[in-house]
Structure 1
Amino acid sequence: MVLYKNLLVMCAIVFLTACSGTYRTYVEMFELALKPKPDAVLSFSELTSDNPDYLYAKLGDQPRSVMGLLFIEQDQFKWTSANQVILVTEQGRVVRTAGLENDLVYTSNTIADPVKTGAFANTSWGRMLDWEAGEYGYVVKSNFTVTENQFLTFFGQKVKVRKVVETLNYDNPSVYWRFDGVWQNVFWFDQASGKLLQSHQQLAPGMQPLELVFISEVARQLRKSGAQIAGDAI
């Protein structure tokens, strides 16, 4: 009888020890899943003219990733990431995507886009947009406001920029019941060269904003300005 009781106690100890180990494993996995992932980063020396162009892309609260320029075709820049998301831009404006939750599949009238022409004053821009989630042929109109002499900081250097706020709205009713028919994009242009350095673009109403930093262009403009930056600066 005593031997039987001792055996039960030993089995219970082994069981509890195993459960404790499993519990710790679950806790560690849970903590790992919740731990913020670091943003991707490139050093200044990695952004040389010998390398392809890069941009930083951050969708909503997701970690920032690096996208590389695949090729240029008919004034469209095609960028890709490690997880095979593709962005197509014209002068920095995203006009098409692949691999997102609700892809932007078509943008019309891009030739008149003020982001491309640089003419923002008293300008309204209309185009048609198609989204993969079943909305096609939507007319969207934009108006722009400009603020000069703003600053962004890259690699520890302040860069004077022109901030352009674009207010977008549906020009025709949505097929869905929604209250987000008006939204905004923001673009920051280098004030000296006019090159687009950074943008926040919401590609569809209700979609998380996409933050883009054209980090290779940033590095080019800093080099042209004569800024002294260590190669390992990030």
Structure 2
Amino acid sequence: MPLLKQLPFLFCLIFISACSQRGKDVLATVDEAVFGFPNVIKTKEALQDIPYANSYLKIDNGHQVLIVLALAELSPKDPTQTQLKWLSADRVMLTTENGRLIKTLRLLNNNISGLNANNSIDPLTLNGKKPNNHEWHAIYDWQPQYRYNYEANLTWNYIDSETIHSTIWDKETDYYQEEVSIPAIHAQFTNHFWLDKTSHEVVKSIQYLGPDMASIEMTILKPFTR
């Protein structure tokens, strides 16, 4: 059964309906229901008063915007994992799993249609402390133009301990870099993850949609809780 503690049942119905021809009207309803506050909120008190999990988002070097958790549901491929769907006021939707960006909708130019481990283990799916070094493999799918089944080799490396700050919290973190190589198109890029030293969950990340594509920076302000 979907995990819906963060939002009332109304939002489940909204996102089911969003797949219909009335999707634009439904998303307008979401805007009114969720984004009845400024899109960028700078005070700690204002952020804490929002009743939903929320994050700051930057696309490339653009402006910082606020996104909220619109839906939490079990992964269709692994029911032990939870997928979080985040929504911005301009109707961009990001799906994350264990802090990894696995799908995007309504971004300009490029969107991830899917990102899945390929006969290997994504280090972010491991409970507790993550390995200092780890190699794994994934399949990337992108839109537009149906660019599917691009095999990637990923190398996960611990870099250092870092203290990072947000409007709400200061955290001691473990900083990791992830080198991504896609042999078929001779392309490489690097993802960045900061994990809370205690919970080992991602609290900040900079992830690329793909080679020569936008970077997505997320800072989790108020995390999802089951």
- Calculate the TM-score normalised by the size of structure 2: 0.70
Shift of 1:148: 3.5
Describe the SS at the equivalent of 2:180: strand
Cα shift readout 1:73-114 (whole Å, capped 9, x = no counterpart): 111000111110000000111100100121100122288211
Aligned sequence identity (%): 22
- Show the counterpart of 2:104: 97
- Show the counterpart of 2:156: 144
- Show the counterpart of 1:40: 40
Cα shift readout 1:138-160 (whole Å, capped 9, x = no counterpart): 00111011134211122486421
8 A Cα contact 2:41 2:47, kept in partner: no
Query: Is 1:83 matched up with 2:90?
Result: yes
8 A Cα contact 1:47 1:53, kept in partner: no
Q: Aligned to 1:162, which of 174, 190, 198? A: 174
Query: Is 1:113 matched up with 2:136?
Result: no
Name the larger-Rg structure.
Answer: 1
Gaps of 5+ in 2: 1-38, 75-81
Letter in 1 for 2:140: L
- Show the counterpart of 2:213: 207
- Calculate the TM-score normalised by the size of structure 1: 0.68
Shift of 1:49: 7.8
Query: Is 1:124 matched up with 2:135?
Result: yes
Shift of 1:56: 0.8
Alpha-carbon distance between aligned partners in 2 of 1:89 and 1:201, rounded to the nearest angstrom: 11
Query: Is 1:67 matched up with 2:67?
Result: yes
8 A Cα contact 1:97 1:105, kept in partner: yes
- Show the counterpart of 1:223: none
Letter in 2 for 1:198: K
Are residues 55 and 169 of structure 1, via their aligned partners in 2, closer, same or farther at CA, if it must alter by over 3 Å? same
Are residues 155 and 81 of structure 1, via their aligned partners in 2, closer, same or farther at CA, if it must alter by over 3 Å? closer
Letter in 1 for 2:206: H
How many residues are treated as equivalent by the alignment?
176
Which has more helix, going by share of residues?
1
Q: 76-85 vs 106-115, which deviates more? A: 106-115
- Show the counterpart of 1:196: 202
Alpha-carbon distance between aligned partners in 1 of 2:86 and 2:170, rounded to the nearest angstrom: 27
Alpha-carbon distance between aligned partners in 2 of 1:58 and 1:91, rounded to the nearest angstrom: 19
Alpha-carbon distance between aligned partners in 1 of 2:88 and 2:167, rounded to the nearest angstrom: 23
Describe the SS at the equivalent of 2:193: strand
Are residues 42 and 52 of structure 1, via their aligned partners in 2, closer, same or farther at CA, if it must alter by over 3 Å? farther
8 A Cα contact 2:130 2:200, kept in partner: no
CA RMSD of aligned residues (A): 2.6
Alpha-carbon distance between aligned partners in 2 of 1:41 and 1:122, rounded to the nearest angstrom: 37
